[in-house]
Amino acid sequence: METGKTVYKEESMKRLIILVLIASLLAPAVLLAAGRAEQASPDSETIRFMWFTDGPDRPAIEALVAEYQQQNPNVTIDFSIVPFGELNQLLRTQASAGQAPDLARVTEPYRFFEFGLDLRPFVSSGFAGEFLADPMKLATGPNGELFGFPHDLTMNGPFINVSLFRQAGIEIPEGDVPWETWFDLAHRVQQATGVPYAVAADRSGHRLDGIIQSFGGSYFTPDGSA
């Protein structure tokens, strides 16, 4: 959040500015949906800010909210944390009713472009260039609209339970190790220790993407048409 900035609003249906969190192995990004601020009086503003938390990020964002309000005493931030599983439905329901929050952290920005506020009139021409190009595309509409900007990223990667390997008496290999070897070792560890599963993975698309790429695959065709 930047301090000392003018709060923009529209008199028509409330819109969103989007900050998006896209977790992916190659193009992680966070898009935030931020809308218009509601004006309580000519000298005061209330900004509704919807957030989902991964846990450790909560103190950081709450500190930023407090810092912003301290530096902008005429602005009150109505900060709410919602469960991640309810985020898309809740945000879309509110936006469809014209009651979207002014700012929201989202992971799938394209779902909310129709409700978004184009930031281009309010930022410098070089604003988009301050961010990595690929993540910035996630906040860009089909006609070049700027609905938000990257905020944070998620790193995806495999990890092993070293304690179980030691318990099974199986040496952990070093260097470049193919998936097939890891799967074989994991099953041997499972058999030796009696754990309920050998390998587990998050079924979210962006989590599986890294594994798919490791096998030379992709969700998309080379030309990006499908």
Residue 71 lies in a domain: yes
118 and 180 assigned to the same domain: no
pLDDT at 9 over 60: no
23 and 66 assigned to the same domain: yes
pLDDT at 34 over 60: no
37 and 131 assigned to the same domain: yes
pLDDT at 165 over 90: yes
- Please report the pLDDT score of residue 180 as a whole number: 92
Question: CA distances (Å), 220 to each of 28, 134, 157, in order?
Answer: 17, 16, 21
Residue 5 lies in a domain: no
- pLDDT tens digits, 110-157: 889 999 889 899 889 888 888 888 888 888 999 999 998 888 877 788
When divided into structural domains, the chain yields a total of 2
Higher pLDDT, 221 or 72: 72
- Please report the pLDDT score of residue 33 as a whole number: 33
pLDDT at 40 over 90: no
- Please report the pLDDT score of residue 151 as a whole number: 83
pLDDT range class, residue 17, cuts 50, 70, 90: low
- Please report the pLDDT score of residue 86 as a whole number: 93
- Please report the pLDDT score of residue 93 as a whole number: 93
129 and 180 assigned to the same domain: no
**54: domain CATH number?**
3.40.190.10
- pLDDT tens digits, 172-200: 999 999 989 999 999 999 999 999 999 99
Its pTM stands at 0.65
Domain that includes residue 192, residue range: 162-214
Give me 180's structure tokens. 């097939």
- Please report the pLDDT score of residue 35 as a whole number: 36
- pLDDT tens digits, 50-99: 999 888 889 999 999 999 999 999 999 999 999 998 999 999 999 999 89
